[in-house]
């Protein structure tokens, strides 16, 4: 089964980036015990002051979909929505690299 | 010292994405023994057929700069250049998340 990955570029409403980052870090902490979540990385943009990039890698797409259905995830999304001006998702297929828990299929 | 991270969005020349991905995977393999390189992830875009996204996390920016000066890196860049139509770098500051070797400073 193929791994699933995505970048999500969140643009926060002015002044709300830190509050949004805190919610995303909570989501990362919630993903800590979830074995199928191999990476949930929260980065601030250096050059765009309202932007946060989240990069996720999952063992398979179904595990990602299942995470979105959890009550904790839905509650976090509800809290985050008022802070968000826009989201650009970038759907990805991991082919390899250094630093994941398990090797992607391309390795 | 702050961690350093970046996304690089590579657009390959038509038909060259797989060859470019192979060179980027070699670069990831070269980074395997480099302790300061915490993540070097190679992803194909699902929706843009010529696009590869590389996501790197380093313990500090100086380690990333030093990697660019290595003979192996310079040789890989020389081989990759003819395959590349464009690169968009996105400079990032990691704030936390799941899946890195060591915890970012925000955690």
Per CATH, domain B4-92 is 3.30.70.100:
yes
* Cβ neighbours of A92 in B, within 8 Å: 43-46, 53
**pTM assigned to the model:** 0.92
**Alpha-carbon gap, residue B107 to B105, rounded angstroms:** 6
| Beta-carbon count within 10 A of B66 CB | 14
Looking at residue B10, its pLDDT comes to: 98
Looking at residue B2, its pLDDT comes to: 84
Domain boundaries defined on chain B: 4-92
Which residue is closest to B97 within chain A, CA to CA? Answer: A41
**Alpha-carbon gap, residue B54 to B51, rounded angstroms:** 10
- Residues contacting residue B32 through CB under 8 Å, at least 6 positions apart: A98
DSSP A69-104: HSHHHHHHHHHHGGGEEEEEEEEEEEEEEES-SS--
Segments of chain A with pLDDT less than 70: 1, 101-107
Query: Mind listing the pLDDT tens digit for each residue in B6-62?
Result: 999 999 999 999 999 999 999 999 999 999 999 999 999 999 999 999 999 999 999
Which residue is closest to A91 within chain B, CA to CA? Answer: B46
Q: Is A33 on the interface with B (CB under 8 A)?
A: no
């Amino acid at each position: 089964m193929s791994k699933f990955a995505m970048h999500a570029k969140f643009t926060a409403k002015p002044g709300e980036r830190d509050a949004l980052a805190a919610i995303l870090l909570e989501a990362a902490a919630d993903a800590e015990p979830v074995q199928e979540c191999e990476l949930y990385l929260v980065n601030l943009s250096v050059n765009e002051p309202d932007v946060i990039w989240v990069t996720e890698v999952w063992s398979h797409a179904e595990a990602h979909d299942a995470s979105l259905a959890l009550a904790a995830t839905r509650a976090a999304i509800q809290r985050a929505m008022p802070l968000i001006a826009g989201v650009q998702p970038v759907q990805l297929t991991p082919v390899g690299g250094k630093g994941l828990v398990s090797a992607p299929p391309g390795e």
